[in-house]
Each structure stands twice: as C-alpha cells, then as structure tokens.
Amino acid sequence: MMCPAMCREPYGGEEVWIPIMIKRRSFLSVLSAGAVALLTRNVFGGVVGGGRKPNIIIILADDLGYEDVSCQGAKDLATPNIDRLSKDGVRFTEGYVSAPVCSPSRAGLLTGRYQQRFGHEFNTPVGRRPEVGLPVSEKTMGDRLRAAGYATGWVGKSHLGSSPQFHPLNRGFDEFFGFLASVHRYTPPHNNPKNPVCRGFEPVVENEYLTDALTREAVSFMTRHKDEPFFLYVAYNAIHGPMEDPPAKYTGRFPQITDWAKLVHAGMVAALDDGVGAMLGKLSELRLEQDTLVFFLSDNGGARGNGSDNGMLSGVKGTLQEGGIRVPFLMQWKGRAPAGKVYREPVISLDICVTALGAAGVGEGGSAPLDGVDLVPFVAGQAQGSPHERLYWRMGAEYAIRQGKWKLLKTGDGPPRLFDLAGDVGETADVSGREPEVVKQLGEAYARWDAQLAKPLWKPPAYRGQVQLED
C-alpha cells in the first residue's frame, strides 16, 4: 500500500497535512513563568549566556511492570542500561501516570494536562473512527518545542488517533517512524496494510524485529540532529502483547528460564534495555550527555498475560490500584540533576512536559494551564516539600485521589476505600472506618477537581474484566 501525495488543508481553524487518496509549589509558586524559566536556567546550567538548549528524550515503554527492571527489584532479569539512568540520575519510587491504560496516559504525557480536562478519558475504540483522537485544540510537547526551534522526532507507537489531523506530523513533530494503532506485532515482515509501519505518512516494509527497528530510527534521528537542539519521543510497543518469540540474541541470555511465556517476556525486556543502551551510547559518542535531559517510564503498569511483574503493588493495567498507575520512572540530566538519587515524593507523568519546557527555557503559554510541575528544583534540593499537594485519577465511574500517604480509591458499586500507602503499598487494609475525616476531606477535594473536567468524548471500548480489549 502506498500513500499518495500530500497537501495542506484547513482543519479546526488551522492547516494540516492531508494525504490525497511549575504549575509550582513552595517558593516557585510566586514567580512568573518567565522568572521560573530564568531561575531554572541559571541555577541548573541550561541555556545561560546563549549556549545550546538541552536536548530532550522521552523513552516510553508499554505495559512494563513496576519490578520489570533490575533497579526496581526485577527477578531473573538484568537491565543494565535502564539501570544506568538510575545510577547517573534520579529514580522516582512513587512515579505515576495519569491513566492505567495506553491512549489516555499518552495524551496526558504529551500535553502535560490531565487528559480528562479535554475528554480523552478512555482508550480509543476498536476500529478506525475518524473523529477519535487527541483533540487538535491541545498543544503537544512537539508543538511547544518545535516553536522554540527544536528538531522534533517521534519514533514508535501513537494510539492517539488514526486520521490525518491526529498524525504525529500534524501534532508538532518534524519526523515520524512508527505505527498509529494500539498494537503491532514484533516479528517481520511488517507489511500489514491495515496497520502499516510508516515513515512520515508513507508505509514501508520493515524487516527487522520491531523493537530493534525503533531503536535504529531513534539513534539515526539523534545522529542527524546532533548539531541542533532536538526533542525525541521514543514510544516502544514493548512489552505489550502479542507475545512473540524475540530473536535468540535476547532469549539466549536467560538459560535459567524454561517457561516459554516468561522467556518471551525476558527477551522483550532485554531488547528494550538494549535500545536504551544504544541511545545512551550514542549520546556519549556524540558528547551530548551533559546537554540532554532523558526520561524513562512506562505508559501504565504491568498487564495480565505478558509476564510483567508489579511486585508488591496491587492491581494491574486497567485498574486504579497502584499496580495500574505506579510505574518505573527515571530521569537523567548529567550535571543538572543529582546522580544516584532516590526521590520518594509522588510525581506524575504530567510533570515531564513542564520539566522539559523549563529546561528548554520555554514558557507554558496558552490559556489552558498545565498540570505538571518542574521536577528539577525538587530533585536538586532547591525547592522543598512535595511537588504536588494531591494527584487525581478518573476513569468513568471509578476514581482515585492521593494526598501524602493517603489514597482514596473508588471502584465498583461500594463506597470508596482509604489506604495508608506509607505502610500498605499493596492496598490490603481499608482504613476508611477509622479515618472518616480523611475520607471526607479527600472526597471533597476530588469533587472539586471532578467539577473542572470535560465529559468523555467517546465511550470506553469493551472490557474483559478490568482490561480493555482494544489495548
């Protein structure tokens, strides 16, 4: 299948390419956005004196469990390259995403806003519905950083809409190599006309193991744009199903694993880890380590059926329990963020956008406020206290709110339950009966937040238990 030529056509008040065929707490809260950016650049060594703006790389895994990497306690696995980010940067033990499933989580990550504010509450429905996707009214990190002079590249999975107006090249990205749907097989050849791997808008036949192909393209982008500031979003589909045998160069590292499903899982994680290593190695080769802010996280917690391990956390992908929303979350910015730091205050994927904009000296702009916080002052000890007073989640009738050690969780038909995460990370003991004032306070805070949100733009896909079929 070949895509025809392209032209620019109006859509939603602007032109798109069409194929023809800190919010801040503590002392930062009193500063203007411009003053915060200036402070951040001077204190942490960013673009002072007209120097190079830092590169920004976001590496997003798919359905990776909380303990699927060795720096998080993985069993029978070794992830030395992902661990390098922890050794040379910051590991957030209480790092969250804004949704327990792929598409809304990615919408929040790329906009820096709770996705429920603009109706992107659920996974996109099964099948190609042309009106469904990340609303074009929302600015992405690509939009903001490209306007600031960055070369912008997107490698990997989208899952944010299949129509041209939702295509990465129309959402602030100069280059795209990947696929638009929620799921893709790993083994070549990749030539499915219903879900093609594309370079830009053009389908290509790809003959590499898909994780390796995405790594190749990410490294190529870094090499080609080494002389200018770049923003690279690498959205692997590993370790999301389908469960297919990885190349022997990965599975052969685990002779002790005899169970097929566990071996496939281990091989998929090894391929992902090698990809991270290739990117970090390229940064070192290009002498860009000091000039690059790197984030690594998963889009949601580990899923049933792919061998992932959420450790002591309760729940899995698709739930608002800790195992669905707490993920591996790492940040490296050599010389700016401390090395080897373990940060134990709650943070969320929405913070990545604001942190990146602060590093780049880019104001938040626009009438829609961002919900994230610049993390650099907090991890460097320049800002005290927790980055967030509260974190929120909503998925249909289910919701959660976290404040300090407390988490109020509403699932099913019963009343909300209260958990003390400081001593019960597995959410085993409901303490709502002995803490009625905490329940009342958190319930009222959630109601105030909920009143700000939009109605979902589409219904959720069909469910199998707690896991959505589309994803």
Catalytic positions are 102, 159
d(CA 311, CA 77) in angstroms, rounded, equals 13
Torsion region of 89: left, alpha or beta (phi above 0 gives left; psi -120 to 50 gives alpha): beta
Q: Are 302 and 241 in contact (CB under 8 A)?
A: no
Helix-, strand-, coil-residue percentages of the chain, each rounded to 5? 30, 20, 50
Output phi, psi for 73, to 5 deg: 105, 20
Strands 55-61 and 230-235: parallel
Nearest to 159 by CA among 202, 201, 193, 110: 110
Beta-carbon-side half-sphere exposure of residue 446 (alpha carbons within 13 Å)? 22
Residues composing the chain: 471
Closest CA to 29 of 374, 446, 404, 437: 374
Side by side, which strands form the sheet with 202-204?
202-204, 197-199, 175-179, 151-157, 230-235, 55-61, 292-298, 329-332, 90-92, 341-343
Q: Which residues contact 382 (CB under 8 A, 6 or more apart)?
A: 43
